[in-house]
Chain A
Amino acid sequence: MIEKTVAEIAVALNAGDISSVELTQTYLDRITQFNGELNAYITVCADSALRQAKTADEKRAKGSNSPLLGVPLAHKDIFCTNGVTTTCGSRMLHNFVAPYDATVVEKFNDAGAVMLGKTNMDEFAMGSSNETSFFGPVKNPWDTKRVPGGSSGGSAVAVAADLCAMATGTDTGGSIRQPAAFCGITGFKPSYGRVSRWGMIAFASSLDQAGPLCKTAEDAALMTNVMAGLDKKDSTSIDKPVEDYTASLSNSLNGLKIGVPKQHFAEGLTAGVEQTIREALKEYENLGATITEIDLPNNHLSVSAYYVIAPAEASANLSRYDGVRYGYRCEDPADLEDMYKRTRSEGFGEEVKRRIMVGTYALSAGFYDAYYRKAQKIRRLIKNDFIDAFDEVDVIIGPTSPHTAFEIGTKTDPVTMYLEDIYTIAVNLAGLPGISIPAGMADGLPVGMHIVGSDFAEAKVLNVAHQFQQQTDWHQHKPTAFGKEN
């Protein structure tokens, strides 16, 4: 049962093959068994999960059959959960019990999903390997010496190792898609504005977007159906009707125009990944799609622009962590300045402090035009590249990451780590929907394929991903050590 997709679980629950309580207990047992090794969860909510499962079973007995009712879920620890510790992977919030629910959390609660717990993540979502968490690194179930990717590493691992049926994540520069690629699962970032950010702890406000991590594009569609929609509490949430994303999954891809950016098959891409993606593209040709090479001439500047905009926004977003109203405060501050400085220096980890410094510098007097304003202009160029590309093609496909999961502790230099997101970052700058799905294996590790759509083309992206998964079984490959049901 634990290997089933959300769609399959819903069928099983409806058929009475299993109850939500049984299923929840199974996942809780697996968490107990494997979390010590994988470190995917920061907080496990066993009691409340079983209560929610019981309620879901009762509702189903009364005839309710909404698709996510009773399906066990994990939330990235970036979402505020009422009455549950919400750490954002940081010492700063290690003791913070959120007094309210994020809109995403509320929506899954309303849908009857069962929250198993809160997943580990890079501190304040700043990282691409899940090594910056105050709660320690998360291990990749395909090879526990390797990273799961980041920042939604805990969620990716929880899905990959069947420690939940589905999980939420957030993606600021690739934080859903890259860990999905490294862990061999499906990870979807909807368009900016499609999912409410209320209650989602901010890293970079103009880039952050929540989305699902799960086993298939179909599951992603089911989850996006719940997550998406206007939220008046978020001024950047778009007032645009939500489609039923499952409705168009089966659409034929005959005549689909796929653009392949030449910049994504250039220097730095490892041979194994390139070969896997080229093979995958042939599947699309078999489905009737045409492939054309496209040019994203400013893509190479995306990392540079991102590392101005994201740290700048973050430097302000993280100013609220001052030890006054909640969270960590240093011991015995000598005076106000000392309280601020020691609280923040002790409460934040190295990477977070580094980005605050970079962001502060980029915004400081005399540098604003050269850095922040320049980055916003580059952002426009990058967005324009995509607009031009989507005049010619329906979707853009390439690798999610230049390589497969790397070993823990091997990328110590921040700049090398930042270049991890070279294929994903531009999509955040432009606010587009993008998905990573398993496309094959290289050296025994999963390879992710990145499918990008135009503004609010969620349905198209999911359709294109789903059709691939109808032709291939890469999404069913499991890491052997954790994949089997006991």
Chain B
Amino acid sequence: MEWETVIGLEVHVQLSTESKLFSSAPTQFGAEPNTQANIYDLALPGVLPVLNRDALKHAVKFGLAINASISNTSIFDRKNYFYPDLPKGYQISQLDFPTVGKGSLTITLEDGEEKIIGVTRAHMEEDAGKSLHEDFHGMSGIDLNRAGTPLLEIVSEPDLRSAREAVTYLKKLHSIIRYLDISDAIMAQGSMRCDANVSIRPMGETELGTRTEIKNINSFRFVEKAINYEVQRQQDIIQDGGRIVQETRLYDAHRDETRTMRSKEVANDYRYFPEPDLLPIVIDQAFVNSIRATLPELPDAKKTRFAKEFGLNDYDASVLTNNRDMADYFECVAKSSGDAKLAANWVAGELQALLKKNNWEIKESPIQADRLATLIARIKDNTISGKIAKTVFEAMIKDSSNVDDIIEAKGLKQITDIGEIAKLVNEIIANNPEQVEQFREGKEQVLSYLVGQAMKLSRGKANPAQVNQILREKLK
């Protein structure tokens, strides 16, 4: 039987704020345990929540970016359950009245097709702390630094049909969030987390199958692997005549498998009710407009503009706009150098490779945009050849001085003096009588050999076009 996979993602994003969602404690990642938890975060008796304005702004900003409806009135609720990393015994979340309502985003599939993925809602809530399961004298240790960090939970519609699509959606979401600068969204650090709801059904069936929820997926790669594993597991069960049990499963990256989460065995009854310590949040049009005014150009718009303005092909435009810093970098190089095509080649090619090799962010690049622009300008004005430019580029990684000085100091400047090139050409003609003869007999291909010899003799500095031209003249 042919199966269709149905996936919906619940993505938790930690919103970048100085202080927590409801308390004025700091939110820094990686601090000593429990040094960032104040009396509110520890749920001491008598403490009360007050909502962080910037967290709300970030949520609204995200909503606007995915063309979602922004709720005029949103309401926080208490979600009740006991867990040692949940100090109040309830999480303040939003159930029926989330801040961000229905929206959507567009992903590009492998075949180039565009697909719209629905976002059901995005609601604000507090993060929990962490239980450290290493053995502390037979006990677990609780670190509440993370407790109360603002989260935006972005819930997609079950619109995704493969693990690959899920990853594409997730990457797009990541790109938008980074463009908006509302979260670090680093999966490895947990500032972006993904739970996947996975079910399968016979192709053509419209009813959804029983789903399982996979938690603990902490990289893009694992999203794909975990979903693929789970899809196979479900197919195996059904084909063996079994039934899928609705449950929460944990992805184990070491074993590349999902397994039942024991702590969630008993069906939870969260007993949601409106948080009486907080009042309704009313977001008026002025507030929305003030945030709309801060929205940056988003990846889709930028991609279209790059394609049009710089004449980039679809692929280059995509690669160069995935990441906002990369796009800004490219745009700067393209404008300063005056050659968008060369700029695209260099940024998407040499520069990307360099960053990848060293695991650098674009902001950490030793070759800043203005320097790369100068380098490209020197190719254009024939100061150096494209080949020599690669040598200069290598030198620029370690040498932070200006590009022209590097070219000068290394004597890499292109030879464009006709007299000098003529001298080179004469030498080559003298040293290669056999090839000269062949060319004169009509063997055109030999010319490129002779040009190559001349280039070699000049240690790459001669202008190949000029060499070519002068050779032809002399061999007439």
Chain A residues engaging chain B, CB cutoff 8 angstroms? 79-80, 86, 88, 93, 96, 98-100, 102, 197-202, 204-206, 232-236, 312-313, 315-316, 318-320, 322, 324-326, 336, 340, 360, 363-365, 368, 372
Contacts and interface: CB of A to CB of B under 8 A. Distances in A.
A363 B80 contact: yes
Contacts of B29: none
Contact of A368 (B50, B51, B144, B273): B273
B89 A322 contact: yes
Contact of B46 (A200, A206, A315, A365): A200
A132 to B, nearest CB: 17
A76 to B, nearest CB: 12
Contacts of A98: 44-46
Given A233-B50, A236-B277, A319 B90 contact: yes
7 contacts: A79-B46, A99-B39, A199-B47, A201-B45, A320-B89, A325-B44, A340-B82
Contacts of B142: 324
Contact of B271 (A100, A205, A234, A363): A363
Given A363-B273, A364-B269, A235 B45 contact: no
B101 interface: no
Given A199-B47, A313-B273, A363-B273, 10 more contacts: A88-B45, A199-B46, A200-B46, A202-B45, A234-B50, A235-B279, A319-B80, A319-B90, A326-B44, A365-B269
A122 to B, nearest CB: 16
A312 B46 contact: no
Main secondary structure of the interface of A (DSSP, over half): loop
B220 to A, nearest CB: 33
A382 B272 CA distance: 24
Main secondary structure of the interface of B (DSSP, over half): loop
Contacts of B42: 325-326
A320 B271 contact: no
B266 to A, nearest CB: 10
Interface of B: 39, 42-51, 78, 80, 82, 84, 87-90, 142, 144, 269, 271-273, 276-279
Contacts of A340: 82
A398 B277 CA distance: 31
A207 to B, nearest CB: 9
B48 A319 contact: no
B268 to A, nearest CB: 10
B48 A198 contact: yes
Contacts of B273: 312-313, 316, 363, 368, 372
A232 B22 CA distance: 12
B261 to A, nearest CB: 15
A86 B80 contact: no
Contacts of A100: 39, 44
Contacts of B279: 235-236
B45 A80 contact: yes
B109 to A, nearest CB: 40
Contacts of A316: 78, 80, 88-90, 271, 273
A79 B279 CA distance: 23
Nearest to B39: A100
Contacts of B39: 99-100
Nearest to A318: B89
A319 B45 CA distance: 11
Contacts of B90: 316, 319
B49 A235 contact: yes
B43 A235 contact: no
A205 B43 contact: no
Contact of B50 (A205, A206, A235): A235
Contacts of A79: 46
Nearest to B88: A320
A360 B271 contact: yes
B253 to A, nearest CB: 25
Contacts of A318: 89
A372 to B, nearest CB: 6
B84 A336 contact: yes
Given A235-B278, A316-B273, A96 B84 contact: no
A177 to B, nearest CB: 21
B46 A201 contact: yes
A320 B51 CA distance: 20
A289 to B, nearest CB: 36
A352 to B, nearest CB: 14
Q: Which of A79, A318, A322, A360 has the most CB of B within 10 A?
A: A322
Q: Which of B80, B82, B269, B273 has the most CB of A within 10 A?
A: B273
Contacts of B277: 202, 205, 235-236
A206 B43 contact: no
A86 B363 CA distance: 52
A206 B276 contact: yes
B271 A319 contact: no
A211 B206 CA distance: 60
B48 A233 contact: yes
Given A205-B276, A324-B87, A324-B142, A197 B48 contact: yes
Nearest to A333: B139
Nearest to A198: B48
Given A316-B90, A368-B273, A234 B48 contact: yes
